[in-house]
Chains A and B, each alone.
Chain A
Amino acid sequence: MTIDDDIAIVRQAIAGHPSAQGELARRAYPRVLACCMARVRQPADAEELAQETLLRAITGLSSLADPERWMSWMRGIAVHVCLDWLRRHSNSQAELVSEFADEVHLGTRPPDQIVADQEEQQLVLTELQSLPDELREVLLLHYYNSMTYEQIAEWLDVARATVSERLSRARQTLRLRLSRPGSVMS
C-alpha cells in the first residue's frame, strides 16, 4: 500500500463510492484501533470507538479540505471520539486490561499450555497499559498494522526520529518489566 494509493482511495471515497469507503475503512482500521486502544484500554470499547471514528470520518469526508491530510484528520477524529468517551465513562477505566484474555486459542492445546498463554498475555497487556500513552500508541501502531517508522511518523504527524525513540523506549521499558523474576522473559 502506498501513500498515493491511499489518497486515490480517499478521493474516491469522498466521491461517494461505497467500495472505496469500505476499503478506506479497512485500511485505516488497525491504526485507528491502535489510537483508540492507547486511550481507552478495553479492547471491546476500543473496537467500538474505532468503528465510530471511521463512521464519523466517512460520513464527514466532504469536510476534508485536503485529501492528502486525511491521516492527521482521521486521527484527530479518533482522539476526539476517545476523549469524548473518556469524559462520559471516567469511572470505568479502572477495569481489568483484557476481557478477552480468556479467549486466546482455546481448544487445541493442552490445558497447562492454555493457562500459560493466558497468563503471558495478561501480563504483557498489563505492562503495556502502564506505558505512557504516546509510547503505547507507537507500539500498537507498529504491531497492529506493521507500519514503518515513516508511516507511523506521518500518521502521528511527528518526526521519524521521534517514532524510533518512542518505540525503543517502549520496548526497553517492557523488556525490563517483563524480565523481572516470574515474568514472561525471565
Chain B
Amino acid sequence: MTPNQPEPKSNGDADRSLPVTWKDELLDHELSQADRSVAEQRLLDDAAEREEFTQLQELDETLRRILVAGELDVTRFLSRLATRTAEQPVQLVQVSSSADDGQLQGRHRLGPGRLAVVLSMLALIVVAVLVRSPANQWIDMVAGTKAERLHPGALLVRATGPVIVQSPNRLPETIFVSWQPRPLPAGTTVRTQAGVLCELELPTTGRTRLREDTEVVVEASNQLHLVSGMMWCRADGPDGITVKVPASHSGETVPPQLAAFVCPTESVSSWIARPGITTCQSLSSKSVDIQIPGTFSCTMAPAERMTLESPTIAVSLGVGDRLSALSWQLPLLVLGTADDPELQDLLQQMLAAIGETKMSSLYVQQIRELGPAGTIPLLAYVQGERSRSARHVRLSAMQIISDLAPESARSDLMKLSRDNDPVVKALANRALQRLETPGE
C-alpha cells in the first residue's frame, strides 16, 4: 500500500484504546486477541505506524541474530559445583540471606585453600619459566661417567635426598647421590623415605623411578620386585622388564604371593603395591600387552588401570588420570638438564592442567592481573588436546594470551598462528604483531 492510496475505513473496534506500547506488544505476541485485531487494523489504516512497525520488525530480527546466549555446559558446571562443595569448609565466603528481600549480602574473599592453590600454581610457573629458559644452566648430577660404569643390576643415577640401599650380605647404608651414579649389584634392596624420590637406570633394559616410601629389590637388570610403594617403569630392551608385585595379602605373618608381569619393550607403566591392593597403570601412548609368563596376558589401553586380585586374576579399573601418575616425578626430573624432552613434555602437561584450572576457577580479570607470566600455563592449555573440546574456554584463553603474552612466548605463538581454528590463528597473529611493535 502506498501513501497515495485511500486509507481503508476503520471498523468499530478502531476506537478501542491500545496501550502506548502496542507495537512492541504486537511484535512480541503479548496483545490480547481483541487488542490484536485493533492493532492490525490500525497498521492497515496508518502508513506512518506501519512504517514504524516495519522498522521495529527489522530491529527485532537484528537483535535476535546478535543477542544469542550460549548454553550452559551443565557437566562442567556440576564438576565446578562438586569442587566448590568440597572446598566449602575452608572457603571464606560469608553469605547471609534476608527473608524479606531475598538479597544476599557478604564479601567473597580468597580462602586459604584457594590461596594455597594459587600460590602453588605460581611456584610451578616459576619452575617452568626457569626450566624453559635456554640460558638456564642446570647442574647435571650424573654427567660423564658412563664409560667407567660396570654392568651391575642397576645404577642409582639421581635422587632428591638420601636413599637407603642394602646389597646382598651387607648392612643397609644411606647413599647421597651427587654427581656420580652409584652401581647396585643384583639383589640390592632400594628404599626411599618420606620426601625422597630416586631413579635407577637398568643397563640396556630400561629405567625405573621410585616414589617416596617405596621399597624395590633389583633382582636383575631386567627384573624388579616392588615390595611396597609406587614405582614407574620404562622398558627399552628387546626382552622387556619383569615386574614382580604382591598379588595377595593373607595377613601380616604370611608373606604375600607374588605375581610376575613382563612389561614389553617400549612400554611405560606405573605400579602401586599397598597393603591389600596392587594396581598397574599403562602410561604408554598405545595399547600394550602385559604378560604373566605361562598364564595369561592382558591388553591395556593407554592410561588404563588394573588391579590384581590374585596371581592370575587382573581386573580393569578403567582409564585413569595419566598426569597424576606422572606429576610426582617432577622434582626428580628437574635434576636433569633443562632440554630433557621428558621433562619438557611433563611440564607442558602440567602447565596445561594449571591453565585449564585457572580458566575454570578464576575470573578473566584475575588471570589478567597475573600479567604476562600468567599466560604461560594458558599457552600450554590452548596447545593441549583437552582444550579443543571446549572452544569457548580456549578462545577466552587466547584472548588473554593475545593481549599479554611475553616475548618468550613467540615460538608458541608461531605454532598457534598455524592453528586450524581461524579465531585462534587471528589472535596469535595479533599477539605476534604486538610483539613486533613494542610500545603500542
Cβ of B85 under 8 Å from chain A:
yes
Contact digits for A83-106, partner B, Cβ 8 Å, 1 yes 0 no: 011001100100000011011001
A48 touches B81 (CB 8 A): no
Chain A, Cβ-Cβ closest to B391:
A103
Chain B, Cβ-Cβ closest to A175:
B59
Could you tell me the distance in whole angstroms from the C-beta of B41 to the nearest C-beta in chain A? 20
Chain A, Cβ-Cβ closest to B430:
A102
Interface residues of B in 52-102 (CB under 8 A from A): 55-56, 58-60, 62-64, 66-72, 74-75, 77-78, 80-81, 84-85, 88, 93, 95-97, 99, 101-102
Cβ of B396 under 8 Å from chain A:
yes
B24 touches A79 (CB 8 A): no
Cβ of B103 under 8 Å from chain A:
yes
Cβ of B146 under 8 Å from chain A:
no
- Total interface residues on A, CB under 8 Å, equals 72
Cβ of B69: which chain A residues have Cβ within 8 Å of it?
29-30, 33-34, 144-145
Of listed B93, B102, B103, residue having the most chain A CB within 10 A: B102
A167 touches B24 (CB 8 A): yes
Cβ of B85: which chain A residues have Cβ within 8 Å of it?
59
A76 with B102, Cβ < 8 A, contacts A124-B63, A164-B19 known = yes
Contact digits for A16-52, partner B, Cβ 8 Å, 1 yes 0 no: 0010011101100110011000000010110111011
Inter-chain CA distance A99–B401, complex, in Å, is: 13
Partner of B81, one of A29, A59, A124, A174: A59
A48 with B95, Cβ < 8 A, contacts A102-B426, A171-B56, A175-B55 known = no
Say what secondary structure dominates the interface of chain A. helix
Cβ of A7 under 8 Å from chain B:
no
Inter-chain CA distance A106–B108, complex, in Å, is: 38
Could you tell me the distance in whole angstroms from the C-beta of A85 to the nearest C-beta in chain B? 7
Partner of B72, one of A18, A29, A175: A29
Cβ of A23: which chain B residues have Cβ within 8 Å of it?
74
Cβ of B66: which chain A residues have Cβ within 8 Å of it?
120-121, 124-125
- Total interface residues on B, CB under 8 Å, equals 54
A63 touches B62 (CB 8 A): no
B104 touches A76 (CB 8 A): yes
Inter-chain CA distance A100–B400, complex, in Å, is: 12
A76 touches B77 (CB 8 A): no
Cβ of B17 under 8 Å from chain A:
no
Chain B, Cβ-Cβ closest to A54:
B77
Inter-chain CA distance A75–B2, complex, in Å, is: 48
Cβ of B56: which chain A residues have Cβ within 8 Å of it?
171, 175
A184 touches B30 (CB 8 A): no
Partner of A168, one of B24, B55, B63: B24
Cβ of A58: which chain B residues have Cβ within 8 Å of it?
81
Could you tell me the distance in whole angstroms from the C-beta of A87 to the nearest C-beta in chain B? 10
Cβ of A22: which chain B residues have Cβ within 8 Å of it?
74-75, 77-78
Could you tell me the distance in whole angstroms from the C-beta of B284 to the nearest C-beta in chain A? 35
A63 touches B97 (CB 8 A): yes
B81 touches A55 (CB 8 A): yes
Cβ of B167 under 8 Å from chain A:
no
A56 touches B95 (CB 8 A): yes
B422 touches A92 (CB 8 A): no
Cβ of A179 under 8 Å from chain B:
yes
A77 touches B104 (CB 8 A): yes
A164 touches B25 (CB 8 A): yes
Contact digits for B2-25, partner A, Cβ 8 Å, 1 yes 0 no: 000000000000000001110111
Cβ of A115 under 8 Å from chain B:
no
Cβ of B440 under 8 Å from chain A:
no
Interface residues of B in 384-402 (CB under 8 A from A): 395-396, 399
Cβ of B423 under 8 Å from chain A:
yes
B102 touches A72 (CB 8 A): yes
A64 touches B395 (CB 8 A): no
Cβ of B105: which chain A residues have Cβ within 8 Å of it?
80
Inter-chain CA distance A71–B314, complex, in Å, is: 52
What would be 16 A-B contacts, judged by CB atoms less than 8 Å apart?
A29-B69, A47-B70, A48-B363, A60-B104, A63-B95, A64-B97, A84-B108, A120-B62, A144-B68, A144-B69, A145-B69, A161-B19, A164-B21, A167-B28, A178-B59, A178-B62
Beyond A168-B24, A175-B59: 4 further Cβ-contacts under 8 Å? A22-B75, A45-B364, A84-B108, A164-B24
The 5 A-B residue pairs with the shortest CB-CB distance, nearest first, are A76-B103, A143-B67, A144-B69, A168-B21, A29-B72
